[in-house]
Every structure is written in structure tokens, then in C-alpha cells.
Structure 1
Amino acid sequence: MTHATHTIRRVSTTDVAALDDLLNSTVQDIIPAALALSQGIKVTRVGPGEYTVETAPDVACGYTVCVPG
């Protein structure tokens, strides 16, 4: 039996124009892990141009929430 684990990615850029694409791409990459865990995805701003994107048990499966830092 295998167990899925919590997945977290850090996104960092100084290029404001690229930020949306980077965040969207990272969310897409984490979707399979979130589905395997029956969890949602949380995007948190941790600083200027820096975000974490992670699977989150407190977010309903199929949803992505953004949390201000």
C-alpha cells in the first residue's frame, strides 16, 4: 500500500507579467497530488513576488484558494 504525501512548491519571480503563468502552471502540476489526497490547493503569498502552492487538507477537493500573506 502506498500513501500520498503533502506537496508544496515555491514560486518566486521578479517578472510581474510572468507571475500568473507561473502560478497557474504550478497549480496544474499539483492537481494530481491534490486529487490523490482528496484535498484542495492553497496558494499563499509569502512575500513580494513569492508564493507557496500546496495541497491542503483544509481546502475542499476540487478547489483552489488564495491566502494573502
Structure 2
Amino acid sequence: MNTATAEHVEVRVDSARQIEERLNAAVKELQPLAASARHGILVTRLNPGHYTISLSEDVPFGLTRERTR
């Protein structure tokens, strides 16, 4: 399941097989907005199977970074 706002996508997965596919789709969804805002994209693992993907001023434009909270 993915939920989205203008600058944020939340991804929840039930299996390891879904992680890469859904995270890649969420990053791709935010790329046009990141380009227009000149921001990078931050992928944050909140819990097993629960991630947020968001625009970030702390990530250089054109890059995607990951972190675990």
C-alpha cells in the first residue's frame, strides 16, 4: 500500500519481495517534484515494512539517500 501527499509517499509492504519494487515506484513518483524544487529524495525506514519517501533539503539535488529511524 502506498499513500501520498505532494512531497511525501508512505510505503508499507508485507514481504521482502515487494520492498524494492514499491520503493523504486515511490522514488520515481517524486522525481519530477524533486527536480522542480531542486531537492534530493530521502528514503526513511521507520519499521520493518514501513517506509517514507520524501523531498529533502538535506539531500543534494539529484541524489537519493536512505536512513533508518
TM-score relative to the length of structure 2: 0.88
Q: Note the residue ranges of structure 1 that are not aligned, 5 or more in a row.
A: 1-5
1:31-64 deviation digits (Å, cap 9, x = unpaired)? 0010111000000001110000000011110000
User: Please, what TM-score do these two structures have when normalized by structure 1?
Assistant: 0.88
Unaligned runs of 5+ in 2: 1-5
Percent of aligned pairs with the same residue?
30
Misfit runs of 4+, over 6 Å:
none
Letter of the aligned partner of 2:19 in structure 1?
A: L
Deviations for 1:5-48, whole angstroms, at most 9, x for unmatched residues? x6001000112101100000100000001011100000000111
CA RMSD, Structure 1 to Structure 2 (Å): 0.9
Query: Helix, strand or coil: the match of 2:44?
Result: strand
1:9 corresponds in structure 2 to 9
Larger strand proportion, structure 1 or 2?
2
Which has the larger Rg?
A: 1
